Structure 1
Amino acid sequence: MKFGGSSVSSAARMREVADLILSFPEETPVVVLSAMGKTTNNLLLAGEKAVSCGAPKASEINELAVIKELHLRTIDELGLDSSIVSGFLDELEQLLKGVAMMKELTLRTRDYLVSFGECMSTRIFAAYLNKLGKKARQYDAFDLGFITTDDFTNADILEATYPAVAKRLHGDWIDDPAIPIVTGFLGKGWKSCAVTTLGRGGSDLTATTIGKALGLREIQVWKDVDGVLTCDPNIYANAVPVPYLTFDEAAELAYFGAQVLHPQSMRPAREGGIPVRVKNSYNRHAPGTVITKTRDMRKSILTSIVLKSNITMLDIVSTRMLGQYGFLAKVFSIFEDLGISVDSVATSEVSISLTLDPSKLWSRELIQQELDHVVEELEKIAVVHLLQHRSIISLIGNVQRSSLILEKAFNVLRRNGVNVQMISQGASKVNISLVVNDSEAKQCVQALHSAFFENGFLSEVEEADLAQNGVPVLVSSNGAINGN
């Protein structure tokens, strides 16, 4: 059971999560926690301020005060001893003074800095469960057996992690049974032996890794939404939960901007064949979304609509005409050299349209100098048009119905006066991506959601399918379909 930052953001929320865990007395879950609320962001901001403020003022950084106040207040409200976190808070202050003195925040130090959030939240929660009489044991993932690459801020879990984690947790359970409370998001570099982080949202990856290592029956990811939704509810309030997803669909949703799941987090669960259930810790009775290897797609058309805004699009046309071998290779080697990730691609022999991932690094966006440099390099081999303020609308759905999805989508966009500037279908075939102007994007998502999910579209499709198969169709006055 993995709980995100908003699920454990205060003493009240921790009580709720403890009650939720205790409401399944027959289960002995492994619990993975993120840092409390906005603690990770505050730690990063504190580190950045420390670089420029000078050592004497490091202890006066506002974000440090916020972090101290939140954790000490939570401990007080839960009736626990402040010594649980006081050592960490003192060490955190010393670390920020060191950063201020060196006037430097390396990626390695940044990972160590943000690890304080999870280390404190898990200790508070484990102590609270023990106080309630439910035996719990806290684990730091970097001591539990999470072995990673040394790519600080975005490390990958290595295969040696699975047997190491299984051995430690099984051994401790046999010796002295207790609910494990594990830090999400963290690992240990295999060469450096330093603390690493798994990238933004990496606590989901911690949970699925433990699930695979132990061969568990189910992995539950508890969020602040009722599962994976048909679109972002902030864009369109009529979004509803999707009851079932495949791992392929979940991966595409995650990569193209749905904030519910981490793009890499599905991999261990897929490999282990373990279902992932996305639930709402604020609404525990909502059924949520179950993600599995396969699902019945017979009645499924469109699963979800995802919007990724503020992307950059490049139209690249070769300066030589047909038969220029190696053109694609040259284009992509330029992106590789500059370390810039490409989202979607549409290509012919002499031209390529592609979009760039706006969050090349999870802490900031692409900067203009990098874009100018890309264009400069590409112009040595091609004519380049740089188009900014674009959005990708990704339609995640049934591969067998892609023509139907496209037909419906383009009809909707035509009626709304929107021209699609690029279209791309991924190799997994579950994702069709359309590029439009930023200014039109939210209106497009609302119109598409209304057309696919609200206006009887599925009934129309079922009716057409039955008729195509030679089945007489009766449509009742309430729109229900009866095929005999």
Structure 2
Amino acid sequence: MIVMKFGGSSVANAERIRHVASIIQAYKEERPVVVLSAMGDTTDHLLDAADMAVNGTVDIAKVEKLHFDTAKELEIDVPAIKELLEELKFLLTGISMLHELTKRTRDYLVSFGERMSVRMMAAYLEKQGTSAKFYDAWDIGMVSDSNYMSAELLDEVWDNIPKALGDYKNGKQKEIPIVTGFIAKDKNGIITTLGRGGSDLSATMIGAAMKADEIQTWKDVDGILTTDPRIVKEARPVPEVTYEEAQELAMFGAQVLHPRSMIPCRKTGTPVRVKNSYNIKSAGSVIVEKHSGETPRVTAITSVKNVSLIDIQSNNMFGACGFLAHVFNQFLKWNVSVDVIATSEVSVSLTVNGKTKLEGLVEDLKRGADVTVKSNKAIVTLICDASHSSSILEDAFKALHEADINVQMISQGASKVNISMLVDESQANDVVQILHKALFK
């Protein structure tokens, strides 16, 4: 058994649905469970409809047109989608009367995208002669807490999923399960969404619980690449990365699986393969617990732009230990996440997302320190075997020195698989190009 996950762009229209259906059919002998996101921009259209409803107007024209036009082009009739659209209209009418959209109602609202997507795909596969059955996530036992918009799955899911899909795995059920990603229900039967990386988490949870041979996530490139091909045209596929490396890649800008989605497969050691939906014969990249051969010195290079650097210098008000406590208490108070950090006894330099509002945080920090904020920075990260950090940095800094580029901050991650450096945002692409040329010879 395998699990195949396709994102919204993969099922954005009739042409893409036909293509994904052909991929599913090509793998049907491996008994796939398919996890789908909402079609294209459906989630955005649903949220736009909610905003209109709050202001008193009920309009589902965009959502309705996309799904009706797609069904017509695929030459299928999907009564279940028509029923959902009526339910959606009823929900929006309620929102328009209350002039309010709560987190709980928002989760209910955005669930319609995934629910319509799986019904569309199952109907089309049936038309093509491939037996398929759609499932809403709760049909296979996806139960979460009640933290709407960012729910976490409960431990009972590990037992629920094998019970629900056991007949399919052992061959008694012939229909390929087409399952919604991103959504679940809480103990009270209320629909929830799983937050960032939710569809990836749905797929890895199903794969891990079912002890699948492999979890596949389908994208538009040949797996994980050594860097962004839009920056470096010579970027090449990486055959194998570890879970830890993949998590670090995702944390520092690469479009891999969301870090939280790695948790289920890490518990069971289930491999995850990133494949190209435009090149299905490509092996892609596999994510595993440990490298099967020699650990590469450098696996990939990634970058994050729009970063702010905060330099904090103690004014000795709190003493050394009290200074650090003061700093991190303020970050906790203002709910600001730190990306990269470098410390000494009396100073701290750290980076945050450039979109973060810092006025209140900085004001509180200044009660015990001198604070400077510098914007328009970028983090360039080497995903590497940090046990070879000296030779890696020798090659990296030699190349940067020759290009007259100064690194403003450097941090080796506690995970021992990344080295991050801070540069001006205007230099980020050049730095990635220079390092890729120096480190991937």
* Normalised-by-shorter TM-score class: over 0.9
Is residue 2:394 matched to residue 1:401?
no
1:345 CA displacement: 1.0
Q: Deviations over 1:307-337 (max 9, x none)?
A: 1110122111111089522322222121112
Structure 2 CA distance for aligned equivalents of residues 194 and 403 of structure 1: 53
| Residue number in structure 2 paired with 1:16 | 19
Which protein, 1 or 2, shows the higher relative CO under an 8 Å CA cutoff with sep ≥ 6?
2
1:98 CA displacement: 2.8
Q: What amino acid maps onto 2:361 in structure 1? A: V
Structure 1 CA distance for aligned equivalents of residues 405 and 147 of structure 2: 42
SS in 2 for 1:429: coil
Calculate percent identity across the aligned residue pairs.
50
RMSD (CA atoms)? 1.9
| Residue number in structure 2 paired with 1:443 | 430
Is residue 2:8 matched to residue 1:5?
yes
Q: Is the 8 A contact 2:306 2:353 kept in 1?
A: no
Pick which of 379-388 and 321-330 moved more. Answer: 321-330
- C-alpha change, 1:354 and 1:193, in structure 2 (3 Å) is farther
| Residue number in structure 2 paired with 1:361 | none
1:356 CA displacement: 1.4
| Residue number in structure 2 paired with 1:452 | 439
1:246 CA displacement: 0.5
Q: What amino acid maps onto 1:104 in structure 2? A: E
Q: Deviations over 1:25-76 (max 9, x none)?
A: 422111101111122222223323433xx32x332xxxx4222111111111
1:410 CA displacement: 1.5
| Residue number in structure 1 paired with 2:240 | 244
The counterpart of 1:42, out of the listed 42, 45, 56, is 45
| Residue number in structure 2 paired with 1:465 | none
Q: Is the 8 A contact 1:343 1:356 kept in 2?
A: yes
Q: Is the 8 A contact 1:321 1:350 kept in 2?
A: no
Pick which of 161-170 and 413-422 moved more. Answer: 413-422
Structure 2 CA distance for aligned equivalents of residues 113 and 227 of structure 1: 33
Is residue 2:50 matched to residue 1:58?
no
Is residue 2:314 matched to residue 1:318?
yes
Structure 1 CA distance for aligned equivalents of residues 77 and 321 of structure 2: 69
Structure 2 CA distance for aligned equivalents of residues 426 and 101 of structure 1: 51
Structure 1 CA distance for aligned equivalents of residues 324 and 349 of structure 2: 11
- C-alpha change, 1:107 and 1:29, in structure 2 (3 Å) is same
SS in 1 for 2:232: coil
| Residue number in structure 2 paired with 1:160 | 156
Structure 2 CA distance for aligned equivalents of residues 41 and 452 of structure 1: 40
Q: Is the 8 A contact 1:76 1:82 kept in 2?
A: no
1:248 CA displacement: 0.6
Give the 5 Å matches for 1:422-433.
422-433=409-420
Q: What amino acid maps onto 2:294 in structure 1? A: R
Structure 2 CA distance for aligned equivalents of residues 171 and 377 of structure 1: 58
SS in 1 for 2:49: helix
Structure 2 CA distance for aligned equivalents of residues 250 and 353 of structure 1: 26
Give the 5 Å matches for 1:169-248.
169-171=165-167, 176-190=173-187, 192-248=188-244
1:114 CA displacement: 1.3
SS in 2 for 1:324: helix
| Residue number in structure 2 paired with 1:474 | none
Q: Is the 8 A contact 1:135 1:178 kept in 2?
A: yes
1:173 CA displacement: 6.0
| Residue number in structure 2 paired with 1:69 | 65
Q: Is the 8 A contact 2:151 2:192 kept in 1?
A: yes
1:94 CA displacement: 3.0
Give the alignment's TM-score, normalised by structure 2: 0.94
Give the 5 Å matches for 1:35-434.
35-51=38-54, 54-55=55-56, 57-59=57-59, 64-171=60-167, 176-190=173-187, 192-296=188-292, 298=294, 300-320=296-316, 324-358=320-354, 365-366=355-356, 370-434=357-421
Unaligned stretches of 5+ in structure 2? none
- C-alpha change, 1:433 and 1:197, in structure 2 (3 Å) is same
1:82 CA displacement: 4.0
Q: Is the 8 A contact 1:322 1:349 kept in 2?
A: no
